[in-house]
């Protein structure tokens, strides 16, 4: 559904509902003159039918109408979870009616005749702006829950691609490890598209038996195979007008890949056992955690299907490469699960935060959420500490913190004759490097040695090490994180 603000009236879609044809026409004309897209309905039932078929940002409805009143329409909109703002209009306003409208969730209540045309325009634009804020808040919660909330460069690129591709009908291929949020990308694209009011059908290609996947996707006729006791439409037909999300596309059998390619090329589906085709209007978003080019080389995936799917590629980074997003998501999950469980946990300790930042997160955002949920349940105070975290995080990271200094590689130079900085520059060969590179290398080695030494002196306690260093805890964590990034092994080459 598109949204609008007072500065972007052309993006706002309004529905005017009134049994008075002259007033209905006048209101529609007024709103169109201000750049809004407007449709009209003569009663509440007609309005509901329109709302079920397509999205509107604002509904302006008369309160008193035959068949279904404006208040009844408002209650139906809320009962059916239709995301729109409703402005109730009436020529016979009463305090009771105004209170009923507010209780039912009306954005505003306006008395006819209007004091001015501008009153109606401003109220409509404000309602649309309020809807945008509601939608943004809801999307932010969903994005955060699935790991799409983030400020790192890679995630900002993902978010920009989603916004750019959503209004189009282009096929999209989403790449990412398990748990990174590939389905959420598909959902975000669908919700921001003109197909938002139509179905989003999700299919896990790897979870369907190979001899049944073609029937599931494209349907079958009665008697097409032993258990086909009745004809059945496929998932492509169920998604007609909307979007189909094919997760783990690399698991499709080669025979089904041929059929899918034909459907993508022609926009037609043919049920198993049938000679007839039917036309469908479906946007395809596919996803995988596999290297499809490698699968092509192995003969497991068709190159022509790959290039048909790979119109727009969105690559979701693994959580271990997202820097500060780890703590951003951790704090969000903490608030969410504390509220859900009634726990009073409010913050993450510095020691726990460092563990979260240093852990590799093979299960990505899904693993992070489960870890925080467990920690919230087990926490004994308002602060989430390392003792509340899963043992694999603590043993995998905290132990390495305590012994990091002993595991650091030996220094590249002998310090037996180093008494001054000048000696260090000469003995280490830094004098043979450009100034900027020599300074960068020297500072990096100093930072690593200093962080390791202070951690060792503090027995691995980050708060104590920060106190000893004279740095605040956030800056000290950043220093240790820099040590971590230089000390980590190369990224894994996972499928």
User: Which residue in 180, 482, 160 sits closest to 319, CA to CA?
Assistant: 180
- What is the percent of the chain where pLDDT is above 90? 35
Q: For residues 188 and 190, what is the distance between their CA atoms, to the nearest angstrom?
A: 5
Lookup: tokens for 47:
């309005």
Angle at 103 between CA 112 and CA 83, to 5 degrees: 85
Domain shared by 251 and 162, yes or no:
yes
The mean per-residue pLDDT over the stretch 274-283 comes to 89
pLDDT, tens digit, 9 for 90 and up, residues 31-57 = 999 889 999 999 999 999 898 888 889
417 or 442, greater pLDDT: 442
Domain-located, residue 380: yes
Query: 432: pLDDT confidence band, cut at 50, 70 and 90?
Result: confident
The mean per-residue pLDDT over the stretch 423-430 comes to 64
Q: Is the pLDDT of residue 173 over 90?
A: yes
Most confident of the following: 137-141, 269-273, 389-393, 416-420? 389-393
**Whole-structure pTM value:** 0.60
Q: By residue range, what is the domain housing residue 431?
A: 407-495
Q: The domain that contains 26 carries what CATH number?
A: 3.40.50.2300
The last residue of a domain, from among 269, 296, 317: 317
Q: Are strands 172-175 and 283-288 parallel, antiparallel or unpaired?
A: parallel
- Total domains in the fold of the chain: 4
Q: Is 273 left (phi over 0), alpha (psi -120 to 50) or beta?
A: left
Domain shared by 351 and 450, yes or no:
no
User: Residue 244 forms beta bridges with which residues?
Assistant: 201, 284
Domain shared by 181 and 305, yes or no:
yes
Domain-located, residue 4: no
Q: Are strands 268-269 and 278-279 parallel, antiparallel or unpaired?
A: antiparallel
Domain-located, residue 113: yes
Domain-located, residue 120: yes
Domain-located, residue 274: yes
229 or 53, greater pLDDT: 53
Tokens 């007024």 label which residue? 30
Q: The domain that contains 217 carries what CATH number?
A: 3.40.50.300
Q: Are 483 and 448 in contact (CB under 8 A)?
A: yes
The mean per-residue pLDDT over the stretch 189-218 comes to 90
Looking at residue 183, what is its pLDDT? 92
Domain shared by 44 and 63, yes or no:
yes
3-class secondary-structure state, position 126: helix
The mean per-residue pLDDT over the stretch 114-123 comes to 81
Q: For residues 308 and 302, what is the distance between their CA atoms, to the nearest angstrom?
A: 10
The last residue of a domain, from among 366, 383, 402: 402
Q: Is the pLDDT of residue 494 over 60?
A: no
Q: Is the pLDDT of residue 2 over 50?
A: no
Domain shared by 298 and 167, yes or no:
yes
In the chain the first and final C-alpha atoms are separated, in Å, by 35
Q: Are 107 and 80 in contact (CB under 8 A)?
A: no
Looking at residue 354, what is its pLDDT? 83
Looking at residue 100, what is its pLDDT? 81
Q: For residues 356 and 383, what is the distance between their CA atoms, to the nearest angstrom?
A: 14
Q: Which stretches of 182-256 are assigned E, i.e. beta strand?
A: 200-204, 243-247
Mean pLDDT for all residues in the chain: 82
Q: Is the pLDDT of residue 227 over 80?
A: no
Alpha helices in 56-116 (DSSP H): 70-79, 95-104
Domain shared by 165 and 248, yes or no:
yes
Domain shared by 216 and 156, yes or no:
yes
Looking at residue 273, what is its pLDDT? 76
User: Which residue in 112, 92, 98, 108 sits closest to 58, CA to CA?
Assistant: 108
Looking at residue 104, what is its pLDDT? 82
Query: 419: pLDDT confidence band, cut at 50, 70 and 90?
Result: low
Which helix (DSSP H) or strand (DSSP E) does residue 384 occupy?
strand 383-384
Domain shared by 373 and 419, yes or no:
no
User: Which residue in 170, 173, 179, 171 sits closest to 148, CA to CA?
Assistant: 179
pLDDT, tens digit, 9 for 90 and up, residues 346-382 = 899 888 888 898 888 999 998 999 999 999 999 889 9
- What is the percent of the chain where pLDDT is above 70? 83
Domain shared by 284 and 419, yes or no:
no
239 or 224, greater pLDDT: 239
Domain shared by 240 and 308, yes or no:
yes
Domain-located, residue 1: no
Looking at residue 398, what is its pLDDT? 55
Q: The domain that contains 376 carries what CATH number?
A: 1.10.8.60
Domain-located, residue 420: yes
Q: Is the pLDDT of residue 413 over 50?
A: no
Alpha carbon distances (Å) from 62 to 19, 75, 130, 136, 167 = 8, 14, 21, 28, 33
Domain-located, residue 141: no
Q: Is the pLDDT of residue 6 over 60?
A: no
Of 25-34, 262-271, 440-449, the one with minimum mean pLDDT is 440-449
Q: Is 248 left (phi over 0), alpha (psi -120 to 50) or beta?
A: left
Of 65-74, 234-243, 321-330, 465-474, the one with minimum mean pLDDT is 465-474
Domain shared by 347 and 492, yes or no:
no
The last residue of a domain, from among 368, 387, 402: 402
The backbone torsions φ and ψ at residue 150, rounded to the nearest 5 degrees and listed phi first, read 180, 160
Q: Count other C-beta atoms under 10 Å from residue 440's C-beta.
A: 12
Domain shared by 224 and 279, yes or no:
yes
pLDDT, tens digit, 9 for 90 and up, residues 448-485 = 778 878 877 777 677 778 888 888 777 777 777 666 55
Q: How deeply is 267 buried, as exposed, middle or buried, from its count of CB atoms within 10 A (0-12, 13-18, 19+)? A: middle
């Amino acid at each position: 559904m598109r949204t609008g603000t007072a500065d972007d009236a052309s993006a706002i879609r309004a529905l005017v509902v009134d049994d008075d044809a002259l007033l209905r026409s006048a209101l529609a004309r007024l709103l169109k003159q201000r750049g809004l897209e407007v449709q009209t309905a003569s009663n509440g039932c007609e309005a509901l039918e329109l709302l079920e078929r397509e999205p509107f940002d604002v509904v302006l409805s008369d309160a008193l109408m035959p068949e279904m009143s404006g208040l009844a329409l408002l209650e139906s909109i809320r009962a059916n979870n239709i995301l729109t703002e409703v402005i109730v209009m009436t020529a016979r306003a009463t305090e009771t009616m105004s209170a009923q409208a507010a209780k039912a969730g009306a954005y505003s209540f306006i008395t006819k005749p209007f004091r001015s045309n501008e009153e109606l325009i401003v109220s409509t634009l404000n309602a649309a702006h309020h809807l945008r804020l509601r939608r943004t808040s809801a999307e932010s919660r969903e994005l955060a829950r699935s790991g799409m909330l983030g400020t790192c460069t890679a995630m900002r690129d993902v978010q920009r691609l989603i916004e750019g591709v959503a209004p189009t009908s282009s096929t999209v291929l989403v790449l990412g490890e398990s748990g990174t949020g590939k389905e959420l990308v598909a959902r975000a694209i669908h919700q921001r598209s003109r197909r938002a009011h139509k179905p989003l059908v999700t299919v896990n290609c790897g979870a369907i038996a190979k001899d049944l996947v073609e029937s599931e996707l494209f349907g079958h006729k009665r008697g097409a195979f032993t258990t086909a006791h009745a004809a059945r439409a496929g998932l492509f037909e169920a998604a007609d007008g909307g979007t189909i999300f094919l997760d783990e596309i690399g698991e499709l059998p080669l025979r089904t890949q041929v059929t899918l390619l034909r459907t993508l090329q022609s926009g037609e589906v043919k049920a198993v056992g049938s000679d007839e085709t039917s036309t469908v209007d479906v946007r395809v978003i596919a996803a995988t955690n596999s290297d499809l080019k490698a699968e092509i080389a192995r003969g497991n995936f068709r190159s022509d299907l790959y290039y048909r799917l790979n119109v727009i590629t969105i690559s979701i980074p693994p959580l271990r490469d997202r820097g500060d997003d780890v703590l951003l998501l951790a704090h969000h999950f903490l608030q969410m699960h504390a509220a859900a469980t009634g726990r009073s946990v409010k913050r993450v300790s510095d020691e726990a935060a460092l563990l979260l930042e240093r852990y590799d997160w093979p299960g990505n955002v899904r693993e992070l959420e489960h870890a925080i949920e467990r920690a919230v349940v087990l926490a004994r105070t308002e602060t989430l500490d390392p003792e509340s975290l899963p043992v694999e995080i603590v043993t995998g990271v905290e132990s390495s913190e305590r012994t990091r200094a002993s595991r650091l590689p030996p220094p590249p130079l002998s310090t037996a004759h180093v008494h001054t900085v000048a000696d260090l520059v000469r003995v280490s060969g830094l004098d043979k490097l450009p100034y900027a590179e020599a300074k960068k290398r020297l500072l990096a080695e100093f930072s690593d040695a200093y962080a390791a030494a202070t951690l060792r002196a503090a027995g691995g306690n980050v708060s104590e090490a920060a106190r000893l260093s004279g740095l605040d805890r956030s800056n000290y964590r950043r220093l240790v994180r820099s040590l971590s990034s230089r000390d980590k092994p190369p990224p894994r080459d996972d499928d």
